[in-house]
Amino acid sequence: MGGYIVRRLLYTIPVVLGVLVTTFILLRLIPGDPVDLFYLGGQDPSGTVSFVVTPSQQSAYDALRREFNLDKHIVHQFFIYLWDFIRFDFGKSIRSQRPINEIIGDHWPATIQLTLAGMGLALFIGIGAGVISAIRHHTWVDYASQSFAVFGVSIPSFFLGVILVMIFSVGLGWLPAISNGHGKELILPGITLGTAASAILARLMRSSMLDVLSRDYIRTARAKGLRERAVIWLHALRNALIPVVTVAGLAFGGLLTGTVIIESVFTRQGLGLQLISAITQRDYPVVQGLVMLAALLYAGMNLVVDILYTYIDPRVRLVRASV
């Protein structure tokens, strides 16, 4: 057991290192470096254009290059980046000179609240609809929730958000179209974000539950005279949840990235909006820091899910320990 967790933790290290290398290389593939692009400003970003640093700018240009270590060898740059990362220092914005840690500190609550709202909704609707669908197999309830599942993964979240705003903000005036806080302001964005994930979970939950309900131990539970409610909620659900846990971990990544879109729809001042404006302003250190943060959160979530898994399903522990 302990051995498995340790091995799983060790496995995370090369992946994080790989992510680090990837983000580092990716943003150095850009034509010109961040400082060049900063001087290029909003001009033609194709990168092939020649631009001239005027003599009056030269010293500032050199200073900026030094400040972001761009005058050093690329391998040297990587080790500086790595060392900063180990100390949880994500660097600073090339535009505003603000430390990225400060940007993250200011904007993470909006994003995490939204992600959790979406996750909560997805788990509630997904598991609920999936179980009911399986119990009422081949009835109109089942067909309705199946249609919801297909529809939910097909509708773009931003379109759903716009529809909800049209109905509940513009039409009825019940809920705000612009969202920054929590409570009432989180309802529309949460629904918008969570719909696709709840559709995926509902579908998986249904098939998993149907599978479990056909097992012998469920027949045994019924045969010994247990009430149907106890059979479903105590015996079947626990087993049917096992595959759903893994997918819920993957869904977390989808929700985390989805906040980029949802924050755009509801002008929510979270990390997603920061990422988009950093991309359009070519503020590469910020892009790098935020992408890295999301990848780390995702890796952390998957780690938690995998460890959680061994508690829910002891068989995993045994099988994986023997490999």
Does 7 bind other proteins (CB under 8 A)? Our answer is no
Does 116 bind other proteins (CB under 8 A)? Our answer is no
Give the position of tokens 């309802």: 187
Torsional sign, CA 308, 309, 314, 318 = negative
Candidates 40, 53, 144, 153; binder of other proteins (CB under 8 A) is: 153
Strand partners, 99: 92
Measured from the Cβ of residue 312, the count of other Cβ atoms closer than 10 Å reads: 14
Name which of residues 233 to 252 contact other proteins (CB under 8 A): 252
What is the rounded CA–CA span in Å between residue 231 and residue 213? 9
Candidates 4, 5, 8, 16; binder of other proteins (CB under 8 A) is: 16
Binding marks (x or -) toward other proteins, 259..298, rule CB under 8 A? -xx--x----------xx--xx---x--x---x--xx--x
CB of 248 to other proteins, least distance (A): 13
Are the C-beta atoms of residues 210 and 134 closer than 8 Å to each other?
Answer: yes
Does 162 bind other proteins (CB under 8 A)? Our answer is yes
Are the C-beta atoms of residues 61 and 35 closer than 8 Å to each other?
Answer: yes
Candidates 242, 253, 307, 313; binder of other proteins (CB under 8 A) is: 253
Between the CA of residue 283 and those of 78, 103, 236, 276, what are the distances in Å? 18, 13, 51, 10
# residues contacting other proteins (CB under 8 A): 54
What is the rounded CA–CA span in Å between residue 102 and residue 289? 11
Candidates 6, 9, 22, 51; binder of other proteins (CB under 8 A) is: 22
CB of 213 to other proteins, least distance (A): 11
CB of 55 to other proteins, least distance (A): 29
Torsional sign, CA 31, 33, 39, 41 = positive
**Residue 83 burial (10 A CB sphere; 0-12, 13-18, 19+):** exposed
Does 210 bind other proteins (CB under 8 A)? Our answer is yes
Does 308 bind other proteins (CB under 8 A)? Our answer is no
Does 48 bind other proteins (CB under 8 A)? Our answer is no
Give the position of tokens 């090339």: 94
Measured from the Cβ of residue 1, the count of other Cβ atoms closer than 10 Å reads: 12
The contact set with other proteins (CB under 8 A) reads 14-16, 18-19, 21-23, 26-27, 29-30, 45-47, 137, 150-151, 153-159, 162-163, 165-166, 170, 206-207, 210-211, 252-254, 256-258, 260-261, 264, 275-276, 279-280, 284, 287, 291, 294-295, 298-299
